[in-house]
């Protein structure tokens, strides 16, 4: 960053920007909302992006060299959620509370997906976290579970550098 950038506060995009952009793009893919019946609402989009982010973070946990990028990715998520809340009209007083809730929700999802993957059964975690307890039907559940497992498998086959460059496929 040059002197002018430092004086005027202009920043370079974070190194995790390509990966974060890929996570957002994947979380906005129509198939989640059409075939997967994830509610196409602000909450539903948050849930989907949080699911994709959680699967990426779980993969990054497997590489000790990815601890810093993983933390940066989480910070980028917090910053993005803060900005989204501000754009939707939440004032400074309420931002901290909402961001704290979102971080707690992300942490809960990480634990639920980690446990579901370890047990070989994502259904309870998916129903609770993507559908908030609603039952969208087996076709939608099968779609979402299948696509998330495919994402997990793809991420497992990729080296960390490729993932950090934003490669999710």
Q: What is the pLDDT of residues 53-84, one digit of tens each?
A: 999 999 999 999 999 999 999 999 988 877 77
CA dihedral 98, 165, 69, 161 (to 10 degrees): 150
Distance CA 93, CA 25 (A): 30
Q: Is the pLDDT of residue 91 over 90?
A: no
Distance CA 105, CA 156 (A): 24
| 155-to-69, 101, 140, 160 alpha-carbon distances in Å | 15, 27, 22, 8
Distance CA 92, CA 111 (A): 29
For 100-135, what is each residue's pLDDT tens digit?
A: 788 888 999 999 999 999 999 999 999 999 999 899
Cβ–Cβ under 8 Å, residues 42 and 139: no
Q: pTM of the entire structure?
A: 0.88
C-alpha 7, offset from chain centre = 33
Tokens of 162: 């490729």
pLDDT at 1: 46
Cβ–Cβ under 8 Å, residues 46 and 77: no
Angle between helices 67-87 and 17-27 (to 10 degrees): 60
The ranges assigned to domains in the chain are 13-164
What does pLDDT average to over the chain? 89
Tokens of 68: 């810093």
Q: Is the pLDDT of residue 44 over 70?
A: yes
Q: Is 126 exposed, middle or buried (0-12, 13-18, 19+ CB in 10 A)?
A: buried
If phi > 0 it is left, if psi is from -120 to 50 it is alpha, else beta; for residue 158 that is: beta
Distance CA 169, CA 162 (A): 10
Distance CA 153, CA 146 (A): 10
């Amino acid at each position: 960053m040059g002197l002018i950038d430092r004086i005027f506060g202009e920043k370079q995009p974070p190194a995790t920007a390509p990966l974060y952009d890929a996570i957002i793009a994947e979380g906005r893919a129509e198939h989640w909302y059409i075939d997967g019946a994830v509610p196409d609402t602000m909450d539903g989009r948050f849930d989907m992006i949080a699911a994709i982010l959680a699967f990426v973070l779980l993969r990054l946990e497997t590489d000790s060299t990815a601890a810093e990028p993983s933390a940066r990715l989480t910070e980028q998520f917090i910053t993005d959620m803060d900005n989204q809340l501000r754009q939707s009209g939440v004032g400074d007083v309420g931002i901290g509370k909402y961001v704290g809730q979102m971080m707690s929700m992300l942490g809960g999802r990480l634990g639920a997906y980690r446990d579901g993957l370890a047990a070989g059964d994502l259904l309870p975690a998916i129903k609770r976290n993507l559908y908030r307890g609603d039952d969208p039907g087996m076709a939608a559940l099968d779609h979402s579970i299948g696509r998330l497992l495919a994402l997990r498998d793809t991420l497992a086959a990729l080296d960390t550098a490729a993932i950090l460059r934003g490669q999710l496929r």
